[in-house]
Amino acid sequence: MRDNFYTGTRRNIAHLLDNPRFEILRHDVTFPLYVEVDEIYNRACPASPVHYQFDPVRTTKTSVIGAINMLGLAKRLRIKVFQASTSEVYGDPEVHPQVEEYVGHVNPIGFRSCYDEGKRCAETLFLDYRRQHNLPIKVVRIFNTYGPRMHPNDGRVVSNLIMQALRGDEITLYGDGEQTRSFCYVSDLIEGFVRLMDSGPEVTGPINIGNPNEFTIRDLAHMVIELTDSRSRITHCPLPPDDPR
């Protein structure tokens, strides 16, 4: 495993450090990496708007240059390489629910573009390496994921609402709260990764991985308030630009 800990911490993997089958290398994916491995899972890039908008140029570099570096390594070793893409490649979609054939509705110059377009370009690179070099690739589009050891201030809706409810702060909903999301538990997501990686060479993706059931952010807020027995009240703020409905 390699990570630059831009959005994470070594504490998250402390329980793995004594495992003889686990090794961690501190490394930034925007720099070339020369290692001998059997397969590559490229999951680099902050996924929270708070983090990816903090340094948008770095976000784009991570997605694009990182993809180039990992594809180059996979090409040299002739191994399978996996790309963690995102539902954000669909932008604010005009098709619902989104199927993999839908090409999206994305603003290329907005505040979210560093992430949306960076991931779209990474997908382009992966498919072109497949077509040009016959490289075995796998591409997954991840929908909203949650689970243990999430950063409490990462800006994603699940952790945001839970932290506000636990503190007794106002529960912040953007817009009318009627925008819908689906949520996938992290272990289910990882199982999807492994199953795709173990699939035959004819299966490249992109493949959506998420949850077929969705509900409104307002429903999520009420669920969080109930489960935490919080006295927090719901308040509304303006909807961020290009926020998917």
pLDDT at 162: 94
Q: Exposed/middle/buried for 227, CB within 10 Å: 0-12, 13-18, 19+? A: exposed
Give residue for tokens 């991931």.
119
What percent of the chain lies above the pLDDT cut of 70? 100
Q: How many CB atoms lie within 10 A of CB 117?
A: 22
Sign of CA dihedral 32, 35, 39, 42: negative
**What does the alpha-carbon distance between residue 53 and residue 115 come to, in Å, rounded to a whole number?**
8
Give residue 68's Cα distance to chain centre.
Answer: 18
6 pLDDT above the threshold of 90: no
Reported pTM: 0.89
Check if 115 is active-site.
yes
Q: What is the pLDDT of residues 125-160, one digit of tens each?
A: 999 999 999 999 999 999 989 998 888 888 888 999
Marked catalytic residue, from 102, 115, 146, 185: 115
Strand (E) positions, the chain? 2-3, 25-26, 39-42, 80-86, 137-142, 145-146, 171-174, 180-182, 184-185, 207-209, 214-216, 234-237
pLDDT at 156: 84
Strand (E) positions, 93-182? 137-142, 145-146, 171-174, 180-182
Q: What is the pLDDT of residues 71-118, one digit of tens each?
A: 999 999 999 999 999 999 999 999 888 999 999 999 999 999 999 999
pLDDT at 184: 93
Q: What is the pLDDT of residues 159-196, one digit of tens each?
A: 999 999 999 999 999 888 898 888 999 999 999 999 99
Task: Considering the domain delimited by 2-150+183-212, tell me its CATH architecture.
Answer: 3-Layer(aba) Sandwich (3.40)
| Average pLDDT score over the chain | 92
